[in-house]
A and B are shown apart, each in its own frame.
Chain A
């Protein structure tokens, strides 16, 4: 593992619910509720969890696209939540994001050239003549023909657009790239191309990825370490291999048992979760997973499980994690 690049401490993002006669705050949606983790240079940290568990909110909060409610985010030792708006703008060339929806994330009024040269312009990274050169070479790098640069987004397919989105994130030479479900909107055949492209780019430019996804097979393939989130909280964090072969949290076990195996004869036990994801506005007491946990005991309803390192580099938040080792 490389040097510490990003350190998040107790990060929270609550969305106030307005209601009542005077439109006062009647509650909070705890989308991200106390996340602490470290990201090291050159690694890929996968973040998984079902829809609504706060993965994307976490990604956006790290970049201050959403202002976090509480906590700290230290990038290269600097607390970026304390930066002024203009300092933050400068910082943005170090940390970039690729969005899930390649159709909505490109300005329909911009040509590809305009989309890609804007980051350079905004950060004053190149003069007009070199800008053109740089846009063309990044297009080539992500596997698109540079002559496409005068076209508009609607003239491209989803996979091509996602390549453009990746090019836009990389053109400023960032250290950290947050990939917010970058392949979820694409065909399976295109997914593998984009994943391969992302891996190549990571090797070539020593990028650090935070890879947000709900597709476990993709995460397993690309990640060094994986964080499992449930209802805005951390459930389990371990290296990719450790997590997939030795999941300790019952939620992780349930998620893994839902991954299809490409062999119809192989049978295995499915852990089927009952009920729906509870409302993040009223999270359950104690362990937030206790309403759906197959192993639930009395203690789970009252006591919040402690985030413990049960094995080296393997963290779990479950009262019974040590039993299953």
Chain B
């Protein structure tokens, strides 16, 4: 045996240690990543703990104080039917964050699997799978969303499914393109030469090399999902009222833009922006932590 021919000195074995810092350290070392985590934490606390502290109904209409500008009673004013905007913003964050993240994650998982299988399989399987994606992509996604939402009674789970059903398309194309490149790399051929199974190659070779791209692409899906939900609410096919959400608040507020009702537009807009920025920063941090090479 090759191995037996050269026994390793015991002292040497002990000095061999892992030089690479743990994943969590690599993730946490960047200031921007920390900022992203804090921003997201802030949004989560704002949406879930906020309503417990600021005990005002988001649903009650204050009909004597419609379109009120920010004041001591209503820190962020009220909308045209007298809803307390701050209370709405907090409660609305719950459905927006849940749907936004869940839809992005479902789309990312399904799109990655689909793209990896398509790219790895190649041949006619790949052609059929990708033509199916092309067909779905050729239909404007708002029609698919409208159709699904009109056929089924919208609730939060359906909403996640509906939004993910169009968001995975882009991810799968991206992943398939990456898979095609990596599949033909020499180190994948080397893995075949060793006798590695295709499944293991997908998990240990393809996936780690693809995940960076996927993470970056998926971070955009969160804000996309929140905004698509807004579009659907605008058309009356979003989550059934009176449940508020950021996207819906934003599209409502647009109608009053020329009345100088800035408190209807900036707060939900800012929340969506913060959600997007925080998830982007976290995505970057994750990618850098996975990356073996320093950037």
Interface residues, chain A, with chain B CB atoms under 8 Å away:
63, 65, 88-90, 92-93, 96-97, 99, 101, 104-111, 118-119, 122-123, 132-134, 136-138, 140-141, 146-147, 149-152, 154, 165, 168, 170-173, 204-205
Contacts and interface: CB of A to CB of B under 8 A. Distances in A.
Nearest to B200: A122
Interface in B1-53: 1-3, 5-8, 12-13, 15-20
B220 interface: no
A278 B268 CA distance: 69
Given A89-B195, A119-B194, A141-B2, 6 more contacts: A65-B193, A111-B20, A122-B196, A147-B16, A165-B190, A168-B194
Contact of B293 (A141, A154, A168): A154
Interface string B224-237: 00000000000000
B189 interface: yes
A96 B187 contact: no
B72 interface: no
9 contacts: A65-B192, A89-B197, A90-B195, A104-B185, A107-B187, A136-B8, A138-B3, A141-B2, A150-B16
A56 B294 CA distance: 35
B193 A92 contact: yes
B127 to A, nearest CB: 11
A109 B2 CA distance: 26
Interface of B: 1-3, 5-8, 12-13, 15-20, 185-187, 189-197, 200, 204-205, 208-209, 292-293
A104 B191 CA distance: 12
A152 B195 contact: no
Contacts of A165: 190
A122 B195 contact: yes
A138 B2 contact: yes
Given A154-B293, A205-B2, A101 B186 contact: yes
B16 A149 contact: yes
Given A99-B186, A173-B1, A146 B191 contact: no
**Of residues A108, A151, A205, which shows the largest number of chain B Cβ atoms within 10 Å of its Cβ?**
A108
A325 to B, nearest CB: 41
B209 A137 contact: no
Nearest to A63: B193
Given A134-B3, A146-B16, A205-B2, A99 B190 contact: yes
Contacts of A97: 190, 193
A130 to B, nearest CB: 8
A277 to B, nearest CB: 24
A205 B198 CA distance: 30
Contacts of B16: 136, 146-147, 149-150
B33 to A, nearest CB: 20
A208 to B, nearest CB: 15
A138 B5 CA distance: 10
B194 A118 contact: yes
A133 B3 contact: yes
B5 A141 contact: yes
A89 B197 CA distance: 8
Contacts of B6: 137, 140-141
A65 B188 CA distance: 11
A75 to B, nearest CB: 14
Nearest to A92: B195
A171 B2 contact: yes
B13 to A, nearest CB: 7
**Of residues B6, B17, B195, B197, which shows the largest number of chain A Cβ atoms within 10 Å of its Cβ?**
B195
B14 to A, nearest CB: 11
Contacts of A106: 187, 190
Contacts of B193: 63, 65, 92, 96-97
B81 to A, nearest CB: 55
Given A93-B195, A122-B194, A150 B292 contact: no
A133 B1 contact: no
A101 B189 CA distance: 12
A67 to B, nearest CB: 12
